[in-house]
Structure 1
Amino acid sequence: MKHRAVKEKLMFYLEDSLSAKEKQEIAKHLSHCNECQQLLESLRKDLALLNFEKYTENDPYFYTRLKARMEVPAQPVARRLWQPALFGTLLVLAISLGTVVGKQFSVEQGADDGLTSELVPFDGLQEEPIEQFLLTFE
């Protein structure tokens, strides 16, 4: 049997799902091929790990706890309605309070006018648009 064919059938060899003739041919090939022997051992370790992970013990009290949780009544409707209403009210109150406090501490408008009037002569965009400047630039 060819080396490649043996590699493809090693998993079936481990699962014992080959005919007797194929098992003999693979066993004969394994007796002299170290690479296939290593592959077979690797497959055995992988299958052992998978079988170990497949059968995990269940928590014996899982179904008891699940049943107890299912028997507990759901939250009353009144509580489910009050929570969003309370949250909305608090949000509106916080925004309005922030607006009132912000107005008290805002800077007066008149004090800022002197600064802007000083900067106006340096504003070149009002005199000439940037597009026109770039088109006429040499």
Structure 2
Amino acid sequence: MKCNTVHNKLIFFLEKELPVSEMEQVQKHLGECSECARFATEMKNTLQFLDNDKVNDENPFFYTRVKERLSKQAEEQPAVRPFLVRILQPVAFSMLLLLGIYGGFKLGQVPKITTADTNMTEQEVIPYWNELEAEPIEAFLME
């Protein structure tokens, strides 16, 4: 068995999750190859350190405190509020949506030219439509 294959199967070997035949092959390779054996011992020490570090300090009263807090919140909330929220929230969102659509139409409208303003050119109605004449550097580069 090659060293790379042993390295790939080493964690499963240490956790004893390999089939018996592969366990024997890895064990045989570790007996022959000192470098892989050293790597296996380092891996085993690391896994033991991680297992020891996984200690969870569980508080036995955590569940009862959470349950009590949830029941207090349920008692404190008035019964009218969910009813108002269910009705007023969609109405408010609908009003905001309609207001946004109306504002979009208003912003998108082009100003109409009246008969008194017929002497105005398009450049005066939309002053920044074409800034090419106002920028001599751009005009110079375009020529």
**Could you state the TM-score of these two structures normalised by the residue count of structure 2?**
0.44
**Could you state the TM-score of these two structures normalised by the residue count of structure 1?**
0.45
